[in-house]
Amino acid sequence: MANSEFKWKHFTPDIILWCVRWYGSTPMSYANLSDMLAERGILVNRSTIYRWFIQYGPALRKKLRRYQFIRIDSSWQLDETYVKVKGKWYYLYRAINKRGETLDFYFSHKRNKEAAYQFLRRCLRHYSIDNQPKTLNTDKHSSYANAISRLKKEGRLRKDVEQRQVKYLNNSIESDHAPIKKLIVATGGFKIRKRAWSTIQGFESLRMLNKGQFDFWLRNDERQTLVQERSAFMNRLFNVDVVFQ
């Protein structure tokens, strides 16, 4: 029986999730994806694919959250990148661990101490004091120091945490921004902040899946079937069982 999340949809769940996977993994427009489907005899308007991604991108993030491991890491890297929405710059805060795994992300209309506080608090919400990193690598913006100090006072962050503001130590997260920025550029720009956030959640979720952060849950993690298994895992999250030939 089809999942209620796909009720009243005119296309099967596997086609919808196929579109979500490809759009969230490869820099392309909705029109490009519509053409790819048309070559296979499936006629889907670009606006329909857009609505699918806006709906199922955030839903995928919620589902993946339950399967994300809470690892003990000695250090985290935190940084922000710029995203333009209707001609105005917004800020996408992102954090990764030493293995390059995405920890969390946060979309803000400002780059200040309150945004840094909310972002770091968001990153720490699933970690006990003992499981928190001993080192936080950040840029030299003063907002991070304020956020760290405030979280320590509130007892949400370990007292002995060290903040390092050395540029080269954040090279990994600077490089990790690039795939997300390519996807954002391929959208052609955002007009509404809410839609931008929904889209970014989809991009970040697919990025985490493609990094291999959920490979532990795959039924078969052999290299030659890895892409299919990750796709099958995503389908299972939505209770859609597809058998690959």
CA atoms 60, 46, 187, 225: torsion sign: positive
Q: What is the pTM of this model?
A: 0.94
pLDDT tens-digit map of 14-49: 999 999 999 999 999 999 999 999 999 999 999 999
Cβ-count burial of 74 within 10 angstroms (0-12 exposed, 13-18 middle, 19+ buried)?
exposed
Which distant-in-sequence residues (6+ apart) come within 8 Å of 79 by Cβ? 93, 94, 95, 138, 139, 170, 173, 174, 177
90: β partners: 83
**Tens place of pLDDT per residue across the chain (245 aa):** 456 889 889 999 999 999 999 999 999 999 999 999 999 999 999 999 999 999 999 999 999 999 999 888 999 999 999 999 999 999 999 999 999 999 999 999 999 999 999 999 999 999 999 999 999 999 999 999 999 999 999 999 999 999 999 888 889 999 999 999 999 999 999 999 999 999 999 999 999 999 999 999 998 878 888 999 999 999 999 999 765 54
DSSP 79: E
Kindly give, in sequence order, each residue whose CB lies less than 8 Å from that of residue 65, ignoring residues fewer than 6 positions away: none
Q: Could you give the angle at which helices 13-25 and 30-39 cross, rounded to 10 degrees?
A: 130
